[in-house]
Amino acid sequence: MTIFLGYAAGVGKTYKMLEEAQEARRHGRDVVVGYFEPHGRLDTIQKTEGLEMIPRRKLTYRGREFEEMDTAAILARHPEICAVDEFPHTNVPGAERVKRWEDVMVLLESGISVMTTMNVQHLESLNDQVRDITGIRVRETIPDWVVEQADEVVLIDVPPAALLNRLHRGAIYGKEKAQQAMTNFFKESTLGALREIALRQTAHEVDVRQDGASAAGLTRVTDSAERILIHINESPAAAALIRRGKRVADYLQADCFAVTVVPQGGMAALPREDRESIERHLDFARKLRIETRVLQSESPAEAIVQFARENGIVQIFLSKPANRPIGWMRKNDLVMQVVRLADDRQVTVVAERRPVG
């Protein structure tokens, strides 16, 4: 699988993918287009000329008609290579699979090579950072382990100014030019930050694949000097903590556990709301392929530290509690308790990042 990675709409991911599909076809490879989103861009539409297109599947949901990739038809056709636009897309309810990336996994399993497109902001582990930069929470995310399945991640790079030019070309500037320029500049800085993330992410993807190549096998060797525990509770901050902890674990090639501590009597002893939140967070961790554990204890701090000692955990990830100046100093604050108890472990207190605007 090859992923063409961009940082915004219009950088030319689809164009590049189709160009590669055309190139493969010229070399006599059996290529089809499994899904293509034209977005009304003529030069991109032209790039499909001569390529075999698998018709989309029509689905009706709540009286409206939707079109999705016809995975079954592609499997029946069984080409050598299939181009699939918009990797992070969520299928309409009623489709066999919830996510397009799940459809792609099915194609890969059947031996079809896939080239696909996505923007860096859809990567799960970057979700909080992207929100901090753009003020927008991206909902359609792809777990990092899915992107890791790609043999190649290719960056489609365009400077933000050129991108904005593309978007504005033909548009007539108003007389409030100075202010409009300011608006553009602001957008440009946001795009610049996203672009930097895309560059660094691609560098990381390249780096990871070198490690894979040198290990001579497919199993990645993890670094036992960096085993990580992520503490999960009912707080909404848990999701950001899971992403951050998992991202660090991935970069350091460390094993990673998500641990929650519930009272004696287990989950059932918790108030319903807390139980549901914790279950949701555990489920989220599992989706990111993090091993989860539920411990029973009346003292969460002690249970966490003990688990860390028994399982060779090197680093414990905790959320910084909301700033409560009075409550903070109390010795029953979990973070301070763990820091005190785990004097033979590393403890990372993850701060909440401040969103823009």
Partner 1 sequence: MSRQDVQNLLDSADYNEVMGQTVRPTPEQLLKAVEAEERSARRGRLKIFLGYASGVGKSFRMFDEGRRRKIRGQDVIIAATQSVMSPELTQLLRGFEVIPPLDGTDHPAIDVPAVLRRRPQICLIDGLAFENPPGAKNRYRWEDVEELLNAGISVVTSINLQFVKERQAEVEAIRGKKVTESVPEAFIRTADEIEIVDAPPEYCVTRSAEAGSALDPATVERQLSELREIALVLAADVVDHQLEEYLHQQGIQQVYGTHERILVCVTPRSNASVMIHRGRRQADRFHGDLYVLYVQQDHLEPEDQKVIDANLAAAREAHAHVEILDDGDPVGAILRFASEHGITQIFVGHSQQRGWLSRWKANPVERLIMEAKGIDVRVFPHQPPRESSAESSQESNQDSSNDLTRDATHDATPTEPQRT
Restricting to residues 164-223, which ones interact with partner 1 according to CB under 8 A? 169, 178-179, 182-183, 185-186, 188-189, 192-193, 195-197, 199-200, 202-204, 206-207, 209-210, 213-214, 218-222
Q: Is 255 in the site for partner 1 (CB under 8 A)?
A: yes
Helix axes 177-214, 127-134, angle to 10 degrees: 170
Residue 330 touching partner 1 (CB under 8 A): yes
Closest distance to partner 1 from the beta carbon of 355 (Å): 10
Binding positions for partner 1, 2-21, rule CB under 8 A: 2
Taking CB under 8 A as the criterion, the residue among 17, 154, 232, 278 binding partner 1 is 154
Which segment (50-58, 72-80, 106-114, 152-160) binds partner 1 by CB under 8 A?
152-160
Q: Closer CB to partner 1, residue 9 or residue 182?
A: 182
CB of 18 to partner 1, least distance (A): 16
Candidate ranges 75-83, 89-97, 99-107, 256-264; the one touching partner 1 (CB under 8 A):
256-264
3-state secondary structure the chain: CEEEEECCCCCCHHHHHHHHHHHHHHCCCCEEEEECCCCCCHHHHHCCCCCEECCCEEEEECCEEEEECCHHHHHHHCCCEEEECCCCCECCECECCCEHHHHHHHHHHCCCEEEEEEEHHHEHHHHHHHHHHHCCCCCCCECHHHHHCCCEEEECCCCHHHHHHHHHCCCCCCCCHHHHHHHHHHHHHHHHHHHHHHHHHHHHHHHHHHHHHHCCCCCCCCCHHHCEEEEECCCCCHHHHHHHHHHHHHHHCCCEEEEEEECCCCHHHCCHHHHHHHHHHHHHHHHCCCEEEEEECCCHHHHHHHHHHHCCCCEEEEECCCCCHHHHCCCCCHHHHHHHHCCCCEEEEECCCCCCC
Q: Between 90 and 143, whose beta carbon lies closer to partner 1? A: 143
What binding mask, one character per residue, do residues 90-129 give for partner 1 by CB under 8 A, x or -? ---------------------------------------x
Q: According to CB under 8 A, which one of 30, 102, 132, 140 is a site residue for partner 1?
A: 132
**Minimum CB distance to partner 1 smaller for 9 or for 206:** 206
Binding residue for partner 1, selected from 56, 97, 280, 293, defined by CB under 8 A: 293
Could you say which of 18, 155, 164, 238 contacts partner 1 (CB under 8 A)?
A: 155
Looking at beta carbons only, is 49 or 343 nearer to partner 1? 343
CA atoms of 112 and 33, how far apart (whole Å): 12
Binding test (CB under 8 A) with partner 1, winner from 59, 73, 167, 356: 356
Stretch that binds partner 1, among 99-107, 231-239, 271-279, 322-330 (CB under 8 A): 322-330
Stretch that binds partner 1, among 28-36, 45-53, 64-72, 132-140 (CB under 8 A): 132-140
Name the residue nearer to partner 1 (CB basis): 41 or 57. Answer: 41
First to last CA, the chain: 38
